[in-house]
């Protein structure tokens, strides 16, 4: 079960709704205030539980924090990745489908996704080497899923398909990095992600116009 290795096993005997309340309250508190300033008093108040109950399941605040990271990574790995259509060989269509899945996850797991957005864009001394390595491995896994098994023959015949592919990779990576900079040290919970997804979709349409053969990717 997700995250089971980090906390008291009896946590998983709790009612699922209660588990969700505790986790979402903790996700929000850590996102709003960071690890050092996060208050376990606020977490238990928001979750509607006693402080003793929280520390019955978790050894301390750091265990809770690391559990939240671990759980989020497992959701990404086990749930998010499985929705990606590996059979879609059109790069632009695959990008658009992945973007749609990302947006759906933001709607379904807003507290968790905002928390992970902050973890990933800020230097975090609380993350263990093991979790940092796992984050790196999941990032590599996501990269593979994004770019494997593509049909490069749909690119224009007068252009080198490998160079076109590399240009699109650079665009996607650069766009992601450009988005991270303004989000650093800001309230990520206040971000309206829709305009950024709309902007990315427009860039994809421009790429299709510039590099695809006419009639391809329709």
Tens of pLDDT, residue by residue over 71-93, are 899 888 888 888 888 889 999 99
Q: What would the mean pLDDT of 177-189 be, rounded to a whole number?
A: 61
φ/ψ bin of 190: left (φ > 0), alpha (ψ from -120 to 50), beta (otherwise): alpha
Tens of pLDDT, residue by residue over 19-71, are 999 999 999 999 888 888 999 999 999 999 998 989 988 989 998 998 899 88
Superfamily of domain 9-211: Tetracycline Repressor, domain 2 (1.10.357.10)
Q: Which of helix, strand or coil describes residue 191?
A: coil
C-alpha angle 30-35-36 in degrees, rounded to nearest 5: 130
pTM of the model: 0.78
Half-sphere exposure of 65 (CA within 13 A, CB side): 21
Q: Which of helix, strand or coil describes residue 138?
A: helix
């Amino acid at each position: 079960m997700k995250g089971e290795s980090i906390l008291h096993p009896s946590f998983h005997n709790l009612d699922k709704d209660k588990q969700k309340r505790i986790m979402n309250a903790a996700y929000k508190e850590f996102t709003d205030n960071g690890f050092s300033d996060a208050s376990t008093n606020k977490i238990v108040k928001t979750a509607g539980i006693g402080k003793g109950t929280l520390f019955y399941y978790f050894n301390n605040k750091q265990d809770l924090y690391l559990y939240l990271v671990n759980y989020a990574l497992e959701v990404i790995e086990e749930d998010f990745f499985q929705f990606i259509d590996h059979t879609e060989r059109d790069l632009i269509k695959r990008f658009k489908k992945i973007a749609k899945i990302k947006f759906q996850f933001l709607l379904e797991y807003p507290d968790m996704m905002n928390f992970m957005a902050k973890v990933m864009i800020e230097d975090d001394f609380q993350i263990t080497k093991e979790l940092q390595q796992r984050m790196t491995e999941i990032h590599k896994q996501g990269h593979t899923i994004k770019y494997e098994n593509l049909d490069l023959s749909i690119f224009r015949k007068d252009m080198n398909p490998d160079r076109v592919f590399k240009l699109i990779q650079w665009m996607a990576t650069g766009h992601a990095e450009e988005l991270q900079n303004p989000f650093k040290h800001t309230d990520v919970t206040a971000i309206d992600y829709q305009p950024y997804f709309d902007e990315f979709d427009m860039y994809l349409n421009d790429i299709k116009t510039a590099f695809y053969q006419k009639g391809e990717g329709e």
